[in-house]
Amino acid sequence: MIFLGLASNYSARDIWRHSFTLGSRRDYRRLELALASRYGATLANTSLVFSGRTAIYLALQSFIESGRLKPGDHVALNAFTCHAVVEAIRRAKLTPVFVDLAPRSPDYSAAALAEKCQQDKRLRAFILQNTFGNPVDIAAFEAVKRQYGLLLLEDLAHCAGRHYPDGREIGTVGEAACLSFGKGKAIDTIHGGAVLLRDPTLRLPKTFDKSAFCRRQHTGGDPPRASWYPLFGAIARGLAHLHLEKPWLWLLLKLHWIERSADTKLRTDKTITVWQAKLALRQLAHLPDKPLREYYLIDHRDECLKHLRQKGYRLEEFWYEVPVAPTRYYTDVHFPEKDCKNAVFFAAHVINLPTWYHDKKHQKQIADARKLIKTYEVR
């Protein structure tokens, strides 16, 4: 069977490692050092945090505290994203401004950003997410950034380890870079993230005492269940052969032993554990430079997914089923569908394939799925 979840590729050894890794304060520190040096930030401006959305919130808050943004200012973001990004912008008391996707692309273009800047004089910052790990034309964005004096936050949730067309690593261009270590991300420790302020004139928010925060948190644990996720996932995949994975996942959710990925919290009072830092450090050193997911735009998606399911593919959890996912939070976002027609179209037609199956047998299965998907492709 083929699944979209990254952990479906874990070997028994990976599952064991995830469940039983022990870490120390040194691992926590080493991860901060490795990130700081990779992305060009000082150690004082680098912090591990509880989630990707916490990282985005802290970066935006530091833009405000440095006087580079004012509360209420507008921040441009992709019109095809996770509500976590909107949550972080709103928590910083800034206003999200969705920029529609370029036709049949999962990201907005530099030209669309320039157009927004002309219409919206309060637009002061933009977030690039390089959806699925597909790099945008960064040189064109830098020209718009210079012309309008914008701040750039690079959201690496989908694209850690990837490079822009001009060879620079994603995360080494903007004033801030934010990572998510959430489920299915390039670095996956179930939850977690990191904020890096690359501009040396910036400081982490005053209310966020990184050192006290570290001391207080990194010896303590988060709920031990985070370490059991890959094991729970492996059981779910085993049960999928008997069509029993849904009751299993339902039970885990009821017991609060797992939570849905999109429900990770934005919290500044907690960080990751030392064992998560150790796992993340290991994954950081082995980041593959390839997209996180393949994407196709297809017609009759339900029929296609049903067809794929009958053949043993579980591809229902594609990114994203609505322009700002998940569906259960979509109405709260008040997404401007009329202004973002390309994003609405994209979300209604997208389907993903995983990119991390390496062995011949699975690669053949992926090739077969690709062939089937292509028969549904939008012309």
Ligand X SMILES: Cc1ncc(COP(=O)(O)O)c(C=O)c1O
Alpha carbon 79 to its chain centroid, in Å, reads 15
Cβ of residue 193: shortest distance to ligand X, in angstroms?
5
Smallest gap from Cβ 242 to ligand X, in A, equals 30
Query: Using CA atoms, how far apart are residues 181 and 161, in angstroms rounded to an integer?
Result: 13
The least distance separating ligand X from the CB of residue 362, rounded to whole angstroms, comes to 25
Q: How far is the CB of 235 from ligand X (least distance, A)?
A: 23
**CA pair distance 30, 4, nearest whole angstrom:** 31
Which residues contact ligand X (rule: CB under 6 A)? 51-53, 81-82, 84-85, 129, 155, 157-158, 180, 182, 193, 264
Placement of tokens 């001009």 in the chain: 166
* 106 upstream amide cis, omega within 30 of 0: no
CB closer to ligand X out of 304 and 324: 324
Angle between helix 110-119 and 138-148 (nearest 10) = 20
For residues 190 and 304, which CB has a smaller minimum distance to ligand X in the complex?
Answer: 190
Interatomic CA distance for residues 4 and 185, integer angstroms: 11
Q: Write out the two tokens for 306.
A: 């049903």
Which CB, 52 or 230, lies closer to ligand X? 52
Instruction: Give whichever of 183 and 301 is closer to ligand X, judged by the CB atom.
Output: 183
Closer of 229 and 376 to ligand X (Cβ): 229
> For residues 195 and 304, which CB has a smaller minimum distance to ligand X in the complex?
195
Query: Given CA atoms 96, 97, 101, 102 in this order, what sign does their dihedral have?
Result: negative
Compute the least distance from the CB of residue 222 to ligand X, in Å. 13
Helix (H, G, I), strand (E, B) or coil at 55: helix
* CB-based closest residue to ligand X: 52
Strand ranges (E), the chain: 2-3, 46-49, 74-78, 81-82, 95-99, 123-128, 151-155, 176-180, 193-197, 293-297, 313-314, 324-325, 350-354
Beta carbon nearer to ligand X, 96 or 182 = 182
Q: Minimum CB separation from ligand X for residue 31, in Å?
A: 16
CB of 160 to ligand X, least distance (A): 11
Question: Please, which residues bridge with residue 98 across strands?
Answer: 77
Q: In what order do the strands lie in the sheet with 46-49?
A: 46-49, 193-197, 176-180, 151-155, 123-128, 74-78, 95-99
